Amino acid sequence: GAAGGKAILFKEFGKLDSFDVEVDQVDPEKFIEAVVAISPTFGGINIEDVKAPECFYIEKEVQKRCNIPIMHDDQHGTAIVAGGAILNSLELINKNIEDIKVIVSGCGAAGFTCAKYFVELGVKKENLIALDIAGVVHKTRKDLGDNPDVYLNE
C-alpha cells in the first residue's frame, strides 16, 4: 500500500527506518490519545488518511502534545509537491508567482493546505480561489464552522 511505499522512500532518500501503524479509531479525541501514547517510540510520525476538517484539529493537537515532528502527509506532502510544480512551471514560462491566478478545485485536507502553501509561496490571496463541494471557500459561508483558519478569501 501507500504507507509501505512511503517507508521505502523514507529509507532510500532519508536513511530512516519506518513502518506502518494502523489506528482503527474514528473519534478524533481517541485517535489523538492513541497517537500521543505511542509517540515516545518514534522519532517522528507521519499521519495518513485522516479527512478534513478533523485532520486540521488532530494534527495541531498531536503536535502540541508531542515533542517529535508530526506531519499529516495528505496535507503537507501534497502541498509541497504541488508548490514545487507551480514554482517549476513559473520558471519554465518566466512568470512571477505574485502575478498568477490560481484556482484550487477541491478544498479538503490536501486542497486547503495546498492553497495556504501557495499563498506562503507568494500567490496573492486575492488571486486565489478555492472551491469545495458547496462553492467558493470564503468568510461569509455559514457551513465552515467558526475556525478562522479555514477562510482563504474575504
Which of 71, 63, 75, 7 lies closest to 36, judged by CA?
63
Task: Catalytic residue, from 6, 15, 95, 124: name it.
Answer: 6
* Residue 124: active-site member: no
CB 78 within 8 A of CB 46: no
**Omega before residue 53 within 30° of 0, cis:** yes
Phi, psi of 149 (to 5 degrees): -70, -20
* Residues 6+ away with beta carbon under 8 Å from 112: 52, 56, 75, 104, 130, 137, 150, 152
| Angstrom distance (rounded) from CA 126 to CA 124 | 5
User: Which positions are catalytic?
Assistant: 6
